[in-house]
Amino acid sequence: MKKSCTRSGIIAFVFLLAVSAAIAQPSDDSVIAARDAEVGGVKLHYLTAGDGPVVILLHGYTQTSRMWRPLIPLLAGKFRVIAPDLPGIGDSAIPADGLDMKTAAIRVHALAKSLGVEKARVVGHDIGLMVAYAYAAQFPSETEKLALLDAFLPGVEGWEAVYDDPNVWHFRFHGPTPEALVSGRERTYFAYFWNDLAADKARSLNVADRAAYVTAYSRPGRMRAGWAYFAAWPQTAKDFAQLAQTRLAIPVLTIGGDKSLGEVLGRQAKLISPDVTVIVLKDTGHWVLEERPKETTDALLSFL
């Protein structure tokens, strides 16, 4: 009887400790601060958390910096994380010009400098991947590592087959008529990306994220600003072809889905750096962080 009571007391004590720890432990969002900064006359909105070596996270099309919220608290214990909304997207202002990968990278770099950042490890997904590469290629001495998540590099060998694939019609879908067609139907338009570009739409973006992104891109001028990055691809290809003539001297990680652009991206990365780790996730589409959160997060944490 005495042993039983003692054992019960120990179990209760351990339970109380666990509950206390859970209460004391901040929620994921509690470690993230949302801030604004003006860089070159353009307001850039960004999320930030943590302290230590700097990691810059750059989101892709149909998304905002919100996509990184599950990852930021995991990085914040070791790194200082900065995750901006790309110029023209989310809560960042729409600049009068320069909605392209190279200029966006310059603006993100200016944001980093304004925050006292001397060196950074840069991660990008989708069009954010292209901005991340433009950052590393233009500011090589200030970039320590580069991680590229499922897309491709315009202007680097192998890009034409992706850009000209008729199954990816949306690369050239921009302008006044597409804008009129999509207006009021943003949810239907984005559902194509989130469902059809996933290996399994049931493992794609969640309902809350979808609603937030539809709201963000439905505001006046926002869909047009997002499309401006697509419209800039021919010039981006020329920019990247020039930048790629000088190979990066830093480690590069690529993570892609086998049902998407993982293989293409891996081959391209080996042309821009001699130190490349290629991860292609099985039965995975374009949304690697949402479709394979553990595998993608583990790979990033290990690499960074």
CB 250 within 8 A of CB 136: yes
Closest CA to 291 of 206, 191, 214: 206
Helices (H) and strands (E) in the chain, counts: 13, 8
| HSE, side-chain direction, 13 A CA sphere, residue 290 | 27
Predicted TM-score (pTM) of the model is 0.90
Q: What single-letter DSSP state applies at residue 86?
A: P
Per-residue confidence in pLDDT tens, the chain, 304 aa:
444 444 444 333 333 333 333 333 334 678 999 999 999 999 999 999 999 999 999 999 999 999 999 999 999 999 999 999 999 999 999 999 999 999 999 999 999 999 999 999 999 999 999 999 999 999 999 999 999 999 999 999 999 999 888 888 888 899 999 999 999 999 999 999 999 999 999 899 999 999 999 999 999 999 999 999 999 999 999 999 999 999 999 999 999 999 999 999 999 999 999 999 999 999 999 999 999 999 999 999 999 9
